[in-house]
Amino acid sequence: MLATLAFWAFSGVLIASAFMVVIARNPVRSVLFLILAFFSAAGLFVLLGAEFLAMLLIVVYVGAVAVLFLFVVMMLDVNFTELKQGFLSYLPLGAIVALILAGELVMIAMTWQTSPQAEALRAAATPEGMSNLEALGLILYNDYIYFFQTSGLVLLVAMIGAIVLTLRHKSGVKRQSVTAQVGRRREEAIEMLDIKPGQGIGE
Amino acid sequence: MADFITQFGIWGGLGMAVLQILGFTIVLLIALAFLLLMDRKVWAAVQMRKGPNVVGAFGLLQSFADFFKFVFKEIVIPAGVDRPLYILAPLLTLVLAFATWAVVPVAPGWVISDLNVGLLYLFAMSSLGVYGIIIGGWASNSKFPFLAALRSAAQMVSYEVSIGFVIVTVLLFAGSMNLTVIVEAQSGGFWNWNVLAGRALFEDGWPMFLVMIPMTVIFFISALAETNRPPFDLAEAESELVAGYQTEYSSTPYLLFMIGEYLNIVLMCAMTTILFFGGWNSPIELDTTAWPYLASHLWYFFWFAIKVVFFFFMFAMVKALVPRYRYDQLMRLGWKIFLPTSLAAVALVGAYIVFGAQG
């Protein structure tokens, strides 16, 4: 019964906060509601027994990605109420698109059939005798190791691409040399002078 | 909690769980009050002052006096702040700081929730701590808090990366993310603690302490940065940013921020203890199987507590001794030194697990 209660609580909060992401006037609040939505989704994962995925969702999405969102949105100085003026004139077009999408969803839902083989393929989130961390690790690093490494390479290429795009070598710029800064000794930096009162260090 | 429900039924089980959490929280808060005093006494001693010594004997009740002062002051909410978020930020900091303690084992079996992914939970919750600061800085609608929020967010995100890799080395040694298992894997004497990794040396002949001692140092320094403690307290550098993200906060909201911050510091001390210094294990293992339940558990708790207090002392000494870092130096340290070093350490420990470890 507790699990059912928790399920309704998490999914209720999830849907409500997802809705608030769309209708909140302030973009920072939108991002915060998005974070709440991630959090509730993580709760649902825990209820399913996929605790590793839940933690991953929090570490990756809430702990890192959403922080970047928040960063960007906070730095933006855009008047969103002004941007949203005349928004209602798009209502008929939006309604038509939404109706078409909803109709398609209903059509899919009506003709959906589960194959008998799919039922057999379905795996429990926590297989017998091991935690789902071990289960995921075994599958990911034994069966799909090449895919895993390829995706890593793709990310590496993206990273190098970003660096190449933004790296500019300008001539005539004074650059910071960390080794020179760290390697500085007291003798090079400080000179002790005995200054007579009222004379200063004049030439 | 699941055992409670099977034992006492659903409501009795819930009640027991709530009682347990309440007990843990109260003990933690009282311990925190004295740790705060210790913090101030240590700085005072370093600076050859006496520190708080008026309220109670040796100033023992100083923290409680401060607490009442904060609580009874008027809550000033400046005009122009985003009210709900302004209030939410300190609450979030405090709640997350407490929630993290749910998986910390203080003695064998003495843990609120013995999660399978306990280590990841700790990591996740401590990475959420940044929200209290960002939201607080932004909702204050003031320039210095906002700058501080940005600084501290960048800092915490950067150091999380190296903390993550250091944690990976530890969990490779234990083969589990369960904190109880990690602590038990280090039993048998201080040479078996992860910082010395004695099993690898004595049983397999791999000198893994050469990797793990630097990892411990990296973890400790990253913990300083993660909790915005000096020398990495750029988020509240008073000479640059007044009081950072807390500038617009006063009385109880400020108190919540402060408690949350100190809870995180003590948590980082507890994590250092659990991950590298054997958790509740005593330096020389005694056979406690014949001892009465309470005696043996208090014995283990004693060792856990003394290690945590030692690391808290180290935190306090660092604050008293080390000057503040410059921001670019901080970022360089995190990304260019700690990250490659800890990555290399993960590779080395992985190599040991695959090629060196028996069984």
Sign of CA dihedral B169, B325, B42, B95: negative
Of B82, B117, B131, nearest to A133 by CB-CB distance is B117
Please indicate if any CB of chain B lies within 8 Å of the CB of A103.
no
> Between chains, do B157 and A64 touch, taking CB under 8 Å as contact?
yes
**pLDDT tens, residue by residue, A19-30:** 888 888 788 888
B-chain residues near A178 (CB < 8 A):
332
Contacts with B265 (C-beta within 8 Å, 6 or more apart), sequence order: B227, B229, B312, B315
Q: Is the pLDDT of residue B79 over 90?
A: no
Q: Is the pLDDT of residue B349 over 70?
A: yes
Q: Is the pLDDT of residue A83 over 80?
A: no
Angstroms from A153 CA to nearest CA on chain B: 17
**Chain-wide mean pLDDT for chain A?**
83
- Using DSSP's 3-state secondary structure scheme, residue A22 falls into helix
Report CA-CA distances (Å) from A203 to A81, A195, A199, B210, B226. Answer: 64, 13, 10, 56, 50
pLDDT at B5: 62
Q: Which pLDDT band holds residue A161 (cuts at 50, 70, 90)?
A: very high
Contact, B86 vs B256, CB < 8 A? no
How many residues are recorded in chain B?
359
Contacts with B142 (C-beta within 8 Å, 6 or more apart), sequence order: B78, B247, B248
pLDDT at A101: 95
Q: Which pLDDT band holds residue B1 (cuts at 50, 70, 90)?
A: very low
pTM of this prediction? 0.83
Contact, B96 vs B260, CB < 8 A? yes
Of A2, A51, A74, nearest to B117 by CB-CB distance is A51
What percent of chain A is modeled with pLDDT above 90? 23
Which residues, listed in sequence order, are joined to residue B107 by a DSSP beta bridge?
B110
Backbone φ and ψ for B187, nearest 5 degrees, come out as -75, 165
Q: Is the pLDDT of residue B81 over 50?
A: yes
pLDDT at B287: 77
What average pLDDT does range A149-165 have in this prediction?
93
What percent of chain A is modeled with pLDDT above 70? 89
Radius of gyration from C-alpha coordinates of chain B: 21
Sign of CA dihedral B29, B33, B35, B40: positive
Contacts with A11 (C-beta within 8 Å, 6 or more apart), sequence order: A40, A44
What average pLDDT does range A164-170 have in this prediction?
85
Q: Which two tokens mark B348?
A: 């080395």
- Using DSSP's 3-state secondary structure scheme, residue B110 falls into strand
Q: Where are the alpha helices (DSSP H) in chain B?
A: 2-46, 62-72, 83-100, 118-139, 143-174, 179-184, 198-204, 209-226, 238-241, 251-276, 293-321, 327-332, 339-351
Report the 10 Å Cβ neighbour count for B344. 13
**Chain-wide mean pLDDT for chain B?**
84
Question: What is the spatial distance between Cα A53 and Cα B125, in angstroms, rounded to a whole number?
Answer: 15
SS3 of chain A: helix, strand, coil, percent, to 5: 70, 0, 30
Which of B73, B69, B89 is CA-nearest to residue B145?
Answer: B89
A window 142-161, beta carbon within 8 A of B: none
Q: Is the pLDDT of residue A125 over 60?
A: no
Find the residue in A nearest to B336 (Cα). A178
Q: Is the pLDDT of residue B297 over 50?
A: yes
Q: Is the pLDDT of residue A136 over 60?
A: yes
**pLDDT tens, residue by residue, B22-33:** 888 898 889 898
Find the residue in B nearest to A54 (Cα). B121
DSSP secondary structure letter of residue B48: T
Contact, B211 vs B205, CB < 8 A? no
- Using DSSP's 3-state secondary structure scheme, residue B107 falls into strand
Angstroms from A9 CA to nearest CA on chain B: 17
Q: Which pLDDT band holds residue B3 (cuts at 50, 70, 90)?
A: low
Higher-confidence residue: B229 or A201?
Answer: B229
Domain coordinates in residue numbering, chain B = 1-72, 77-357
Please indicate if any CB of chain B lies within 8 Å of the CB of A29.
yes
B-chain residues near A1 (CB < 8 A):
10
Contacts with B65 (C-beta within 8 Å, 6 or more apart), sequence order: B55
Q: Which two tokens mark A129?
A: 């005798």
DSSP secondary structure letter of residue A122: P
pLDDT at A121: 66
Angstroms from A124 CA to nearest CA on chain B: 17
- Greatest alpha-carbon span in chain B: 66
Sign of CA dihedral B7, B10, B16, B21: positive
